[in-house]
Structure 1
Amino acid sequence: MRSKAVTQGRIADILQSRGQLDEALRIRQEEELPVYERLGDVREKAVTQGKIADILQSRGQLDEALRLLREEVLSAFERLGDVRSKAVTQGKIADILQSRGQLDEALRLLREEVLSAFERLGDVRSKAVTQGKIADILQSRGQLDEALRLLREEVLSAFERLGDVREKAVTQGQIADILQSRGQLDEALRIRQEEELPVYERLGLERDLLVGRTNLAMALHRRGSLKDRNAIHVLLKRAYAAAKRLGLPEALRIAELYRQIFRKPIETAKK
């Protein structure tokens, strides 16, 4: 029974990564979770509930995801005395709070609870990921210089030391976002084209790639050159096609962006 549940969890992991959220959620709620409940396995039940919350968040069900994390998952890891899993859960809670615009509370949680826990554990990777989230909130609050310093001096250097190519590319994308916000479009475009997107292409990271292409298209549009319109068209069409194929909610955002730029629906645009 346990081995079957573990296998179903792995299937759900793959479905979730492919954007098949409904089926992944069904497996977790109907096949995986009930097994751990019957077995009385508190840890695996909490882990599965955390993954369910991830799916709910991806589907925009923020209130239910937040309730599940706070009332079930966090309390379970606190009872188990699992410091790392508690910190990971608090990081997820902070993500949802940020999505709901509760930036001050999200920042407090990350700085006072999550970051300090990973520092005590000596977990360099998780510390760097948390600092990246802090930088994202600082950017949202308009503290661009502090966010840029944190990304360049702490986060990027950490992932370089760890040899984590994917996270390094994600961080460079965040740096490009800030540079774009400050009007440094040429440097932002260079980073996206030379440092970020080639990594996603090489690693076959479809979701990262479609988001990166959308961000590059937005940067080119902001530059305002007529010479860039064909490149913007191609980037958005490719990103939209990938998002539709994977069943991701980003497809709606990309379609709306295309309509705003080209004044016509993306579905009717020629390849």
Structure 2
Amino acid sequence: MFSLEGSKALVVGIANDQSIAWGCAKALRDQGADLAVTYLNARAEPHVRPLAERLEAEIVMPLDVADDAQMDALFAEIAARWGRLDTLLHSIAFCPKEDLHGRVVDASAAGFSVAMDVSVHSFLRMIRRAEPLMPDGGTCMTVSFYGSEKVVENYNIMGPVKAALESVVRYTAAELGPKGISVHALSPGPLKTRAASGIAEFDEMLNRAAERAPTHQLATIEDVGAYAAFLASREAANVTGGVHPIDGGYSIVG
């Protein structure tokens, strides 16, 4: 069995114990990784800090990805405390409600820009800061969804946004591969998370997904976490650039 004992991992995106980021953080910790965990703001901190304590996180700091100063402070603390970073997990996305619930063709320039910045470019900003902390290689992961490649009802503007995120994964994997840094997108099927609940008719989407998947089961955050932990291991060092479905076969059914 692979081990992450002594490795250093940054997990961004824990909102509660139903978050994909929580499932990943717990799996990384269970395999021995030391963790740095972030929370969005003062309102989120009371929900995230107890979870960080359960994980015995060594670094717990605020991070609004739109604030470069906060991001700089986070990576400076990682450099000072650990001197390196082995794993980066980016599990955040956002789109203003009026754009998320509207037609793609009607998306506002401002809403589209915010969705791309928070959901996609923030991953690039994190990778750029993580790169010098990974001199001996490392793993960078983000979270996508099947709606990036197929039209999923009510997923709307997040489909093109996730498509851009997956393209970023491929290009950065090609650029950083010579340094031993792998880049991945985890692609679970529909999951019951607070973020996903903002999608219109989400409960109906969950039911249809379970019926459609060959296993007739929705993926869990534990499923996603197990896969993330493996990708963070040295045994997966020669795997990079992929979008990894973790969905009970949901994505293979036409």
TM-score by length of 1: 0.29
More strand by share: 2
More helix by share: 1
Task: Point out which structure has higher relative CO (alpha carbons under 8 A, 6+ apart).
Answer: 2
- Which structure would you say has the larger Rg? 1
